[in-house]
Structure 1
């Protein structure tokens, strides 16, 4: 199996969730072994996608360098990661990736518009060899476990009649991602949105790009896309956050009330000990390569 990039450059214009300002973003193909690179064209700063460049994880995953940041990268990265894109340049003229409709389905369409190009060098993946885990005193947990497949399990519980307890199991393929994960939107509570706006955040948030709830119900007139849309979006976010590993992960991600912050700590924990993981060449690792071939073969892009 070979590394992937996009076949041609594509552009999109949208608004940022937190600043609410227009953002122009362009995705460009890159050569083998280049990785995922962000470029702030307005500041002339290149920010490679890596754990070391994460500067904030409170409300979103934010990378930065020399005081220049790019925020809310997780939805774009979720789609890029799901489509197996190894090399890509993201050119952006502001400090936040466009939120689109609050899901990653728009980015899936953008990638399919660009097409996927296979490169000459073999694709590499990171295989989890030992279980690593981050836990908190209030019962939150994120875990990576060894597996020959790519699995995401997530559990949430909210004291809200529209959410309650939700679980979702995602066995990776592009087709399953498009149908069951990419369309799930980010969500927030009305009182939280009001507070965030008071401190200069969520300025671009609306019912056009998020599920908004009051104390008893979903306020969006169209309702939910899935009964369990909330936990599906948590998996969407987690897939984007795992892109910070720099390789597609072979293993099982399992979370109870996980977050961007815990996901960041988990990626750091995995890399703390070289015995926790193995970088595998998918030209040589036939069993793992078969998993990817099956996952990628179900959709033509």
Structure 2
């Protein structure tokens, strides 16, 4: 692994955009957190005191069109998956995620703005060894014609994603990624959320997806892509599903040593597989990274994001299952 010790952010970085459903302005600030803290959402802008929720599988209260984090008082923040994917994908273990609205900002429909924010804040190693959840035996879940599983993989995390849409403009796509900061940044961080125009119209009429637009979503009609700029990857849709899976599985609380396979899946299936793993205590164990041979000084990420971080990131606004 790139780091044998846990990591956090060196400083804070803020992005500002709109909520995909409300269409209202929202700001998100990433910041440092102590050893073993994991990812902590802090909801500000409330009438009462700020609320904090640790991002884990038990804090998920909805998965219909996005991953929603909450507690006994109700929902805290929606569309958590993309910022969680950026943190996990870039190798951050502990961070605070402060949001002043009910949704993570939509940005450009991908995780790229959050990667830029992580670059701006910098990554620093901490004193404690990095810990992992090592999957020991296969865990499988089927929901209708969707299927997901976690299998042992002692070398790291791999995602094997298959989608199969009736819409011929999307169709069947497969993608495999062995996750590390380089592959995350290069191969899936820029993949945008996607959907079909008839789904968007239905959500608009119901008062949802008010912040969705061609600036933050890849949109298809019955036969073709409607975005004039085209796709960022020829298989951008399945890559975005891989991005979502990385974010949803970040709710394990620790990096997974496992291979995740998903067929016609989405947020609901991702959460169901993770929940099934956690419920079976014989299926996993916590392990620590091996110490490096020579001590290293804390390392701050060298790349700094340039220019404005504002813009717009969205959950899939169509049906969760492909």
Q: CA deviation at 1:46?
A: 0.8
Secondary structure of the structure 2 residue equivalent to 1:106: helix
Is 1:26 aligned to residue 29 of structure 2? Answer: yes
Is 1:213 aligned to residue 216 of structure 2? Answer: no
- Give the whole-Å Cα distance in 2 for the aligned partners of 1:159 and 1:120: 50
1:53-132 matches, cutoff 5 A: 53-65=59-71, 66-132=73-139
| 8 Å Cα contact 1:45/1:68 also seen in 2 | no
Q: CA deviation at 1:159?
A: 1.9
Secondary structure of the structure 2 residue equivalent to 1:265: helix
Larger % of helix: which? 1
Secondary structure of the structure 2 residue equivalent to 1:32: coil
1:49 to 55, 79, 101: 55
Residue 9 of structure 1: aligned partner: 12
2:186 to 179, 187, 202: 179
| 8 Å Cα contact 1:152/1:171 also seen in 2 | yes
Larger RCO (CA within 8 A; separation ≥ 6): 2
Is 1:234 aligned to residue 241 of structure 2? Answer: yes
- Give the whole-Å Cα distance in 1 for the aligned partners of 2:193 and 2:232: 12
| 8 Å Cα contact 2:61/2:75 also seen in 1 | no
- Detail structure 1 runs of 4+ shifted over 4 Å in the superposition: none
- Give the whole-Å Cα distance in 2 for the aligned partners of 1:179 and 1:142: 25
Deviations 1:276-297 (A, max 9, x none): 011111136x8xx9xxxxxxx9
- Give the whole-Å Cα distance in 2 for the aligned partners of 1:167 and 1:12: 32
Deviations 1:251-286 (A, max 9, x none): 1000101110111111110011211011111136x8
Is 1:153 aligned to residue 180 of structure 2? Answer: no
What is the RMSD of the two structures over their aligned residues, measured on CA atoms? 1.6
Q: CA deviation at 1:161?
A: 2.6
| 8 Å Cα contact 2:60/2:68 also seen in 1 | yes
Deviations 1:4-26 (A, max 9, x none): 10010111111111111100111
Q: CA deviation at 1:160?
A: 2.1
TM-score by length of 2: 0.87
| 8 Å Cα contact 2:14/2:30 also seen in 1 | yes
Q: CA deviation at 1:105?
A: 1.1
Residue 263 of structure 2: aligned partner: 256
Residue 146 of structure 2: aligned partner: 140
Residue 37 of structure 1: aligned partner: 40
Q: CA deviation at 1:148?
A: 1.8
- Give the whole-Å Cα distance in 2 for the aligned partners of 1:184 and 1:225: 7
Secondary structure of the structure 2 residue equivalent to 1:266: helix
| 8 Å Cα contact 2:147/2:263 also seen in 1 | yes
- Give the whole-Å Cα distance in 2 for the aligned partners of 1:136 and 1:172: 26
Alignment gaps of 5+ in structure 2: 294-298, 304-322
TM-score by length of 1: 0.93
| 8 Å Cα contact 1:32/1:121 also seen in 2 | yes
- Give the whole-Å Cα distance in 2 for the aligned partners of 1:90 and 1:136: 31
Alignment gaps of 5+ in structure 1: 290-296
- Give the whole-Å Cα distance in 2 for the aligned partners of 1:2 and 1:259: 31
- Give the whole-Å Cα distance in 1 for the aligned partners of 2:288 and 2:237: 35
- Give the whole-Å Cα distance in 1 for the aligned partners of 2:34 and 2:184: 26
Residue 320 of structure 2: aligned partner: none
| 8 Å Cα contact 2:91/2:180 also seen in 1 | no
- Give the whole-Å Cα distance in 2 for the aligned partners of 1:160 and 1:122: 47
